[in-house]
Chains A and B, each alone.
Chain A
Amino acid sequence: MVGAVACLSAYTGIGVVVHGSSGCWFYPSSLLKTDLGCTDLSAEEAVMGSGERVRAVVESALARHPRVAVVNTCVPGIVGEDLAGLLDGLPVTLVDAPGFLGDASVGHTAAVAALRPVVDPDAGTVGIDGLSPLDPFFRGDLHECERLLRLAGAVPGTRYAGGPVESLGRASPVSVVANPVYAAGPGERAGDLLGLEAVRATFARLADRDPRIDPGPVEEECREADMRCRRACERYLARHDPPRAAILGDGDRVRAAARTLVRYLDADVVLLGDRAGTPGSPGERWWRAGDLGLVQEALQATSPDLVLGSSFEERLSPGAAFVPFAPPVRGRPRLASVPLAGVEGTLALVEAVLLACTGRRKA
């Protein structure tokens, strides 16, 4: 549910109503800090029917939005009321995303599908996929993807998620992906932008597909960024040992960050944790990072001196240098739009790692 609500709230031109209890509404509302409606479902309505209530709340939301998405939570999902019938005649998109169906990416995908994007092969734009407001790098990734596309002469197009909801009616035929765990849009995917090698490869594919796209300036940026990372990391390695790194978050990002840390810092990556991945065994470096107990065991077993992860992992590794890498990121101001994707994403990651490692040594 939270993933669906986050996805929908990124679009303009559509309001969002959570069909569920106020407790279900509170979490996405506190995270997203946006105008988010709720039917504040009561126990009586769950049992006796909520049609009157849903319709009243949706009509109220339609006073502020031309269109409204209604996101089902667990109990209405179980009860199975005919919402389509109840809301007949209103400009409403129904998204069935009860929490028991899966994690945030499942809800995100359901929301994109419910909006029914229509690919236009002649749109002449390149979409940006894999964007969710739940992601701490959402805005930074968006800005960086748009910047790189323009640098290559492409026109940034449909976002999954974000922008005017009407843009989905003429969706880009091809997209680049910021964070693969949230990739949900239709059409062709040119590839992700996690790490400099992926940036080069993705823009090469875009250029193969469309001769108007020139990957040269992006390649040049990648080359310069590579040099800058090498120089900064060589200075660090002249004084310090390579870090023993634990990286926990969304799988593709974890893989890309591991490649970057090995490439520039000769890091010993002792732990890789994928929140959605299959459980690993103690003999492997991959762990399922969705269980804090397992994560704690793995961190204790591997003793990293650098941890990339969420505030949970930060809490479990008090002596290690920490870089925010996955939600939730709590207890630190995050004002700037920092990316993880693209050229700037790689630079930002290496910079954050060097600052964290240096800061830890000073402490």
Chain B
Amino acid sequence: MPSSPSPLTTPRSDGCTLAGALSVAAAVADGLTVIHGPAGCAHHHVSLLLTTLLDRPESRMPCLLSDDLGEEEVIFGGEAALARALDEAVARSPGSIAVLSTCVAEAIGDDCRAVASRVPGTIPVVVIPVGGFFGGGFLEGERAALHAYGRLASRLFDPGRGDDEPVVVLVGEKNLEFEADAHADELGRLLGHLDQAVGLRFVREAPTAALGRLPGADLLVLREPALGPVADRLPVLPGTPRIDAFPVGLSATVGFLSAVGAALGLDADAACEAELDHQETVLARFAGLAGSRVRLPAGNRWLAELAEALGLVVDPAGVPLPVPDPAPVGTAGIARLLSRWRRAL
């Protein structure tokens, strides 16, 4: 449908905040999410989340409750329905409860925070009053949820519990991305070159108690640069080093190791050498592609670098090659991309 010609200050086609917030809240390993709205809002998001889990049969189904607002609640208010749903949530003893509001809840003016404040203090409650499209789009919902869990992390922080090893935190993984775990595995592999590991995935598959490690972070690795404003508000010590994005491309992957080394005060030379050797091995598997005439999107540095390393001839009349969005992460991502390119060629 064509866009409206009328000037507007809010987006109209950026999806639903509920989807964004739910993509975060549903990823907390022991969390339970209460959706304050009609049952249909919960149903369609569960259905979409299910799709992202299809190739991971071992993964858990996210735990969601809807308070199933109907016509009566729309007219007389839905706070009692939310209170009942929270009682049911508490009875299931989750590690934490997230309360997400919808546009219906926003339109009728329910006060989610006031209702949620009555939950016994033994179970942490994260209120994310995104309000459906009243709160913006998907990204606003995702970021509001990360902020909310950041606040929870500061409540859960135990300053007496020092970590012996540096804590590297992944921030804002795209939880609806099929490759999300593969990306985290790749970062874990890279950190292994430096004898480090991912200390916390904030919040993907993290149990609630583990979120308390966030304030003690020694390094934040953001999924993408756009998460900078989110990271600015996370409860970490001033000056905590930050890497702005997961590495994309050959040199960026090696550069990631240098950046981690610099952030943690480690010598990364040997790690970079090891990764360069690994990349040579990977590229050697695709040596047969050298000389192929290919068409690639222009102005993309990591693609140009990869084409040059493989000896591809970039030609507007060449074979168009698939380039995924988001771009592949690390050397493992490059290897999977090259398998696709080999099939295309």
Contacts and interface: CB of A to CB of B under 8 A. Distances in A.
A75 interface: yes
Contact of B133 (A2, A17, A23, A103): A23
B50 interface: yes
Contact of A44 (B10, B41, B107): B10
B4 A56 contact: yes
A7 B92 CA distance: 38
A292 interface: yes
Interface in B10-67: 10-19, 38-41, 44, 46-48, 50-51, 53-55, 57, 61, 63-65
Interface string B121-143: 00000000000111001100000
Interface stretch (A33-41, A206-214, A253-261, A348-356): A33-41
Contact of A41 (B9, B108, B133, B138): B133
Interface stretch (A215-223, A301-309, A310-318): A310-318
Contacts of B3: 40
Nearest to A1: B40
A39 B3 CA distance: 9
B69 interface: yes
A101 B69 CA distance: 9
Interface stretch (B70-78, B188-196, B279-287, B299-307): B70-78
Nearest to B75: A78
B4 A53 contact: yes
Contacts of A40: 1, 3-4, 12-13
A290 interface: yes
Interface residue range, chain A: 35 or more
Interface string A45-69: 1100000110011001100000000
B10 A42 contact: yes
B17 to A, nearest CB: 8
B1 A23 contact: no
B107 A78 contact: yes
Contacts of B73: 100
B239 interface: no
Contacts of A331: 51, 54-55
A318 B54 CA distance: 12
Interface residues of B, number: 52
B2 A75 contact: no
B47 A37 contact: no
A318 B137 CA distance: 35
B41 A21 contact: no
Contacts of A61: 1
A79 interface: yes
B51 A330 contact: yes
Given A23-B133, A40-B3, A315-B53, A46 B14 contact: no
Interface string A267-310: 00000000000000000000000101100000000000000000
28 contacts: A17-B1, A21-B103, A21-B133, A22-B13, A22-B15, A22-B137, A23-B18, A26-B19, A41-B12, A43-B133, A44-B9, A45-B8, A46-B103, A46-B134, A57-B2, A78-B104, A78-B107, A79-B107, A99-B41, A99-B104, A100-B70, A100-B71, A290-B39, A293-B63, A311-B54, A312-B50, A318-B57, A331-B51
Interface of A: 1-2, 17, 21-24, 26-27, 30, 37-46, 52-53, 56-57, 60-61, 74-75, 78-79, 98-103, 290, 292-293, 311-312, 315-316, 318, 328, 330-331
Interface of B: 1-6, 8-19, 38-41, 44, 46-48, 50-51, 53-55, 57, 61, 63-65, 69-71, 73-74, 92, 102-104, 107-108, 132-134, 137-138
